[in-house]
Amino acid sequence: MPELPEVETSLRGIAPHLSGQRIERLEVRDHRLRWPIPADTAERVVDQRIQQLRRRAKYLVLELEEGCLLLHLGMSGSLRVLPAATPPALHDHVDLVLANGDCLRFRDPRRFGMLQWTPSPAEAHPLLRDLGPEPLGPAFSGDYLYQRSRGRRAPVKSFIMDSHVVVGVGNIYASEALHRARIHPNRAAGRIARPRYQALAQAIRLVLSAAIAQGGTSLRDFVQEDGHPGYFAQSLSVYGRADLPCPCCGQPIRQRRIGQRSSFYCAACQH
């Protein structure tokens, strides 16, 4: 599934082409996404101007003159800005057609994505209202993680992947940040001291910022808005590198399941 850096990369790619543009129509070829697109969505958005595009967690928010469009890429979704006359391919399910002749085309082979209109503010929507802070925002810090972790017995990796604690720290980036902070992923969240959480918060910021700068992680189904794969996978220290040497100490990277997800770590460096 595309993680926060992939969604941020998509946002930065499409925003210059959509911001300020008027929506001419919404063409839905297949309503059967993760949640069916309501039949009245087209009439709610037609003739509205896109005032702003932003990201909240892994959701893209298109702020309109009245209400918002929430878009989630699901497991295999991708976005392109194309001339509206471009013939759609098999899995091109939705076109947001602009008055300037372009369209935002949503491709989703597995149909786990979503597109929903909601009244403003978007943060009142049930999918957004209970989310934790953004990891690159001012509300996120080591002190915040330390306070939220008190009394928690769950592994720290599961703790930082909980979207009610902090959004956007998916499986890949959790493994990478914990390695950078030298914290074992299975250590109980409530048994980690404040200074180590300060190091972890900084590691999360650094790992996510580096991934955004490099275009996201090169997962099998993810491509950037220009059709090219992301490149952050070339810089991964532990994720997907079981039995390969740790870049810090040379010991073999280990793999185990934590919270039903594959986790990668160095037993020598992380404790």
- pLDDT for the residue 66: 97
Q: Looking at the predicted structure, is the pLDDT value of residue 232 above 70?
A: no
Q: Please give the model's pTM, rounded to 2 decimal places.
A: 0.88
Nearest to 166 by CA among 196, 183, 141: 141
**Bigger pLDDT: 187 vs 231:** 187
137: pLDDT strictly greater than 60: yes
Does the N-terminal peptide bond of residue 247 adopt cis geometry, omega within 30 degrees of 0? no
Q: For residues 225 and 152, what is the distance between their CA atoms, to the nearest angstrom?
A: 39
pLDDT of residue 200: 98
Q: Which is more confident, 230 or 117? A: 117
The residue with greater pLDDT, 196 or 224, is 196
> For position 219, what pLDDT does the model report?
37
Outline where the chain has alpha helix (H): 4-18, 41-45, 142-149, 156-160, 171-181, 194-214
Q: Which domains does the chain have, with CATH numbers?
A: 4-124 (3.20.190.10), 142-265 (1.10.8.50)
Annotated binding site for DNA: 91, 110, 152
- pLDDT band at residue 6 using 50, 70 and 90 as cut-offs: confident
Q: How far is Cα 90 from Cα 153, in angstroms, rounded to an integer? A: 46
pLDDT score, position 3: 84
Comparing 224 with 265, which gets the higher pLDDT?
A: 265
Binding site residue list = 91, 110, 152
If one counts every other C-beta atom within 10 angstroms of the C-beta of residue 228, the result is: 10
Per-residue pLDDT tens over the stretch 145-173: 999 999 999 999 999 999 999 999 999 99
Binning pLDDT at 50, 70 and 90, where does residue 221 land? Answer: very low
Catalytic (active-site) positions: 2-3, 58, 261
pLDDT surpasses 80 at 217: no
Torsion angle of the four alpha carbons 61, 63, 67, 71, in this order, in degrees rounded to the nearest 10: -20
pLDDT recorded at residue 241? 94
